[in-house]
């Protein structure tokens, strides 16, 4: 249908596009700035005035410094362990939980569902949880403390449940006739049929583990067990760039201080940034399923 546009509508369109372009700039420029600043020479960066469009005095010194730092490396190791182990446990437990909640013959499933939804709105709070993990389960300073408390997210469980419930029951019945038990049904039939949602779950949980820092901050005491985000926090927010420069020369110290911060951000965020464009559509899909559920 072709319709004539009034002048005011045309003006609106133009303004709208300008606004959107502005949004893009506002969102992207901070990240762009970080990338450019990380490639800069700190001294030149400090002196720089105006908009930074290319590195001020190109230098890779900051990156060299970051990769030499033992904390960053051990942080990376911890984070990768937690992401891998945590996500595996997440997926396993969430699917079993969701499977259980879709079994019609499971007598207390309604009750269990309500109990779980209740926890979304009401929880014991930070301190009782802390005491439970630290004193009750004795998980202080253990990586398990980062994995077990977040083993199942109720929200994700509900998304998974909705998805499982949509699988026709007759498939399962015919498997039962062929002699499959519940475990076989779950792992050989339901889960392969739900691969897209499982992919979304892996991404949700994986990114959550990668980005989490708070539980590590309260449970982990040994520095070599710190995950990457916690190391980042020390460098970025507690301003302990000094700790990164142990052993380097005085003048040298000053000149890379600023860009080291930016380089650490890049090093810690790059994995997410690299996969982001590919996983983005799955995230949106997962979000929709959750939204429909409400």
Partner 1 sequence: MFGIVIAFKDYQVSKGILASNWVGFKYFIEFFNGRYFARTMINTLLISFYDLLFGFPAPVIFALLLNEVKNTYFKKTIQTITYLPHFISMVVICGMIVDFFSSDGLVTKLIVSLGGKKMDYMGSAAHFRPIYIGTNIWASIGWSSIIYLAALSGIDQELYEAAVIDGAGRFKQLWHITLPGIAPTVITMLILRCGQLLSVGYEKIILLYNSGTYETADVISSYVYRMGLGSSRYSYSSAVGLFQSVVNLILLFAVNSLSKKFSETSLF
Q: How many CA within 13 A on the CB side of residue 125?
A: 2
Q: How far is the CB of 68 from partner 1 (least distance, A)?
A: 20
Question: What is the Cα gyration radius of the chain?
Answer: 25
Q: What three-state secondary structure class fits 58?
A: strand
CA neighbor of 269 nearest in space, from 34, 19, 22, 111: 34
- Choose the stretch contacting partner 1; rule: CB under 8 A; options: 126-134, 145-153, 165-173, 184-192: 126-134
Task: Select 247 or 277, whichever has its Cβ closest to partner 1.
Answer: 277
Which member of 88, 119, 138, 224 binds partner 1 (CB under 8 A)?
119
Strands (E), 174-242: none
d(CA 245, CA 257): 9
When the beta carbons of 134 and 187 are compared against partner 1, the nearer one is 134
Residue 108 binds to partner 1 (criterion: CB under 8 A): no
- Determine the Cα–Cα distance for residues 258 and 280; give it in Å rounded to an integer: 32
- Partners of residue 21 on adjacent β-strands: none
Binder of partner 1 out of 207, 223, 253, 282 (CB under 8 A):
207
Binding of residue 236 to partner 1 (CB under 8 A): yes
Helix axes 154-165, 70-102, angle to 10 degrees: 40
Using the minimum distance from each CB to partner 1, give the nearer residue, 136 or 196. Answer: 136
Binding interface with partner 1 (CB under 8 A) = 1, 3, 6, 8-9, 12-13, 16-17, 19-20, 23-24, 26-28, 30-31, 33-34, 46, 49, 119, 121-132, 135-136, 207, 210-211, 213-214, 218, 229-230, 232-233, 235-237, 261, 265, 268-269, 272, 276-277, 280, 283-284, 287-288, 291, 294
């Amino acid at each position: 249908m072709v319709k004539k546009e009034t002048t005011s509508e045309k003006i609106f369109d133009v303004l709208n596009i300008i606004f959107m372009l502005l949004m893009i700039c506002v969102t992207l420029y901070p990240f762009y700035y970080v990338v450019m600043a990380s490639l800069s020479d700190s001294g030149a960066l400090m002196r720089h005035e105006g908009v930074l469009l290319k590195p001020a005095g190109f230098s890779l010194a900051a990156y060299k410094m970051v990769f030499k730092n033992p904390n960053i490396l051990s942080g990376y190791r911890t984070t990768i362990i937690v992401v891998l182990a945590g996500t595996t446990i997440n997926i396993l437990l969430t699917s079993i939980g969701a499977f259980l909640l879709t079994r019609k013959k499971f007598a207390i499933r309604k009750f269990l569902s309500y109990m779980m939804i209740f926890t979304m709105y009401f929880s014991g709070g930070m301190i009782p949880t802390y005491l439970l993990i630290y004193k009750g389960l004795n998980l202080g300073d253990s990586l398990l403390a980062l994995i077990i408390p977040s083993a199942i997210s109720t929200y994700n469980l509900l998304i998974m449940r909705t998805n499982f419930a949509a699988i026709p029951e007759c498939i399962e019945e015919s498997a039962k006739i062929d002699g499959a038990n519940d475990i076989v049904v779950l792992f050989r039939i339901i889960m392969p049929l739900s691969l897209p949602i499982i992919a979304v779950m892996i991404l949700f949980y994986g990114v959550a583990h990668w980005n989490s820092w708070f539980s590590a901050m309260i449970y982990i005491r040994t520095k070599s067990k710190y995950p990457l985000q916690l190391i980042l926090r020390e460098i970025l927010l507690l301003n302990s760039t000094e700790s990164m420069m142990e052993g380097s020369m005085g003048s040298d110290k000053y000149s890379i201080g600023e860009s080291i911060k930016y380089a650490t951000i890049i090093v810690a965020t790059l994995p997410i940034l690299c996969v982001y464009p590919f996983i983005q559509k799955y995230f949106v899909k997962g979000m929709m399923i959750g939204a429909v559920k409400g």
